[in-house]
């Protein structure tokens, strides 16, 4: 499993090309030859970049959903709306499609942030706003999500 680390400030050019920072490019090197999938995030107005192996694992899980269940079918349609495959060019850039740039509100200043096995791509101002809004209740969220007492001494801190 891929465990990406880092948050990077970058720029997108007028065509939507983004230079992947060297440190992140090195982490992605083992999986970059197979390409990537980029999509709209479910909960935030940012983009998610999946290495192809991670995307295929997710699609395997989604393919087990019963398509004759209306909710499942609606979910699959909305989840995959705007999905594109991408490849890094020889210069280490990704070309983000215009409609996805519009969805995320990305103009020039961006933040690329690791999210365990995928990468989030944010408009810089929206990223800072999302981090600041979450700061006030992060301790409560951390306790709720990670504070399972059955975990004993394996807690994080």
Q: At what angle do helices 138-146 and 124-135 cross, to 10 degrees?
A: 80
The tokens describing 122, both together, are 């944010």
Structural domain boundaries enclosing 108: 7-149
CB distance 5 to 57 below 8 Å: no
| Residue 2 pLDDT level (bands cut at 50, 70, 90) | confident
> Is residue 75 situated within a structural domain?
yes
> Is residue 157 situated within a structural domain?
no
> Is residue 2 situated within a structural domain?
no
- How far is Cα 1 from Cα 38, in angstroms, rounded to an integer? 19
> Is residue 144 situated within a structural domain?
yes
What is the CATH number for 22?
A: 3.40.1550.20
| Residue 155 pLDDT level (bands cut at 50, 70, 90) | low
> Is residue 156 situated within a structural domain?
no
- How far is Cα 156 from Cα 148, in angstroms, rounded to an integer? 11
Of residues 47 and 142, the one with the higher pLDDT is 47
> Is residue 54 situated within a structural domain?
yes
> Is residue 39 situated within a structural domain?
yes
Average pLDDT over residues 55-76: 94
CB distance 119 to 4 below 8 Å: yes
pLDDT at 137: 81
Number of compact structural domains in the chain? 1
Own/partner long-range contacts of 26-29 (Cβ < 8 Å, ≥24 apart): 27/2, 27/114, 28/4, 28/88
Alpha helices in 12-148 (DSSP H): 22-32, 52-62, 70-79, 98-104, 124-135, 138-146
pLDDT at 110: 97
pTM for this one?
A: 0.87
pLDDT of residue 122 exceeding 90: yes
Average pLDDT over residues 43-66: 95
Q: At what angle do helices 22-32 and 52-62 cross, to 10 degrees?
A: 60
């Amino acid at each position: 499993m891929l465990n990406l680390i880092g948050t990077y400030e970058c720029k997108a050019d007028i065509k939507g090309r983004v230079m992947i920072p060297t440190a992140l490019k090195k982490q992605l090197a083992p999986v970059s030859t197979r390409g990537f999938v980029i999509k709209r995030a479910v909960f935030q107005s940012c983009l998610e970049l999946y290495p192809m192996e991670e995307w295929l694992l997710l699609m395997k899980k989604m393919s087990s959903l019963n398509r004759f269940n209306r909710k499942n079918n609606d979910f699959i349609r909305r989840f995959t709306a705007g999905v594109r495959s991408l490849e890094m060019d020889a210069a280490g850039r990704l070309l983000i499609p215009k409609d996805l740039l519009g969805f995320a509100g990305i103009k020039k200043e961006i933040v690329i942030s690791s999210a365990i096995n995928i990468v989030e791509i944010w408009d810089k101002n929206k990223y800072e706003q999302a981090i600041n809004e979450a700061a006030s209740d992060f301790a409560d969220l951390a306790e709720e999500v990670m504070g399972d007492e059955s975990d004993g001494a394996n807690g994080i801190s």
